[in-house]
Structure 1
């Protein structure tokens, strides 16, 4: 599949950029992040990561292949938190621009992507491998895609141009500022200018890779 995710792909490219303005206040007990006064708990984050690990294990033909996948996605926990926060930032930016997304919008995008990928299972597999999205989260991920595209339309921009990208991320930056995002230092900090998670200067903290818990 050659299509790149509008919001997440662009943000991933910005993670390596220099930190301009980071937001990271006092840690919140039990919270991986606080966004707009609402907590993303460590438990919620771990649950999302476990969903991906379970799906990756199910998709792997053997244990060796699964271990390779885990090694290749060793930053899954931080990447997942980045996505969870970014989705909320995008939601705020979209609401500020008067953008809404219907079930029909998501269904239309999913139908088109399934046709390109070769069916529902192929699309789920592609999203899992390329973006670390568990099959049960596919519709939510596609909703983010639609929301980003509709936000670009509302802003009157072309995301294929430098000017368009600058305008898009300016709106995202304002949403980040309005939400007063605070990450638990163990997961890094949030760069409000680029609406992106960045690694904090805590080299003694290592990201643990837990064994996936099979659903009961």
Structure 2
């Protein structure tokens, strides 16, 4: 009850959230067709390394499910387990998987960080200056620049749809779901600030 699928590159429930291109996630699954497409792509059994932070209850199950699906599709997927500190250190490596590199890792963001092109750094296509994975997509960067120059929200929404449609083709990452973390506070505390994440300042004991 605290989570739901969200097939948008912009946080569901916010003004720029849209469904452009999302049928690839929301449509019917066809594993046999996927296997055929993989075969047509020329895949030759190259190893796919999935990093797994076993101490993170949000990302650990996703790593397990992803690896299982890749294996069902006939891909040479290998789950490499460690803690979160190891994962965030290793994800900076641009080496091939045989030399400590990686293919896939899972993470999560607070909603506001993905709500607009200005904030969604994972959607950048700036190559070496982009987020981990370093997607090089000049067209995405042009759309982002156009979004900043847009005169009104209606134009921004149209550009967000174009950005999302392109993202589902180039796949800088894959959005999976959104969730709310239940939070409880002692009655003896005051000054709690309502925020998408826990803020530790302004808090006092009554």
Which structure: larger Rg?
A: 2
TM-score, scaled to structure 1: 0.29
TM-score, scaled to structure 2: 0.30
- Please identify which structure carries the higher helix content: 1
